[in-house]
Amino acid sequence: MPNAKTPDRLAGYEHRYRELAEQLATIGLIHSGSVTRRYTHCANPGCKCHADPPQPHGPYDQWTAKINGKTVTRRLSPAEAELYNEWIANDRQLRRIIKQMRQIAAKAAALKLKHLADQ
Ligand SMILES: [Zn+2]
C-alpha cells in the first residue's frame, strides 16, 4: 500500500506551507531594484578626482531599478539608502518565501492529484 502515507506527507507539506505563509504576513515594506555604492569623476579637469592618484567623489549610494524596460536611477542620502536596503532585503525575503511555497505547493498538488487518480 504505497499510498498509506499520503495523508501524512500531505499534512507535512501543508504544515510547512502554513509556516511560510505566516512568515509572509510579517514582512515589512518591500521595494524593487538594488542599491549600489558609487564613486564618480566630475568634468572639472583640475579636480582631485583627476589627480594622480585620482581621488574620486563619493561614495554615493544609488538606487537602480528597471521600470517598464527602462533603467531608472536615483541618488540616495545615507538615511534613504538605509531604508531602501531594508525594503529591498524584505523584497528578496518575500521572493525566497514564495519560491519555497511554490515548490511545496507543487509537491502537495502532485500528491493530491495522484491520490485522486488512485481512488
Ligand atoms: Zn571631481
CA 59 to centroid of ligand 1, rounded, Å: 13
Ligand 1 is an ion; its neighbours by CB within 5 Å are 42, 47, 49
CA 51 to centroid of ligand 1, rounded, Å: 9
- The domain tally of the chain equals 1
The DSSP secondary structure of 30-76, one letter per residue, reads ---SEEEEEEE--S-TTSGGGSSS---EEEEEEEEEEETTEEEEEEE
CA 39 to centroid of ligand 1, rounded, Å: 10
pLDDT digits (tens, 9 = 90+) for 64-98: 999 999 999 999 999 999 999 999 999 999 999 99
* Least confident interval from 1-5, 15-19, 22-26: 1-5
Domain of 60 in residue numbering reads as 2-118
pLDDT digits (tens, 9 = 90+) for 24-72: 999 999 999 999 999 999 999 999 999 999 999 999 999 999 999 999 9
Residue 19: the pLDDT is 97
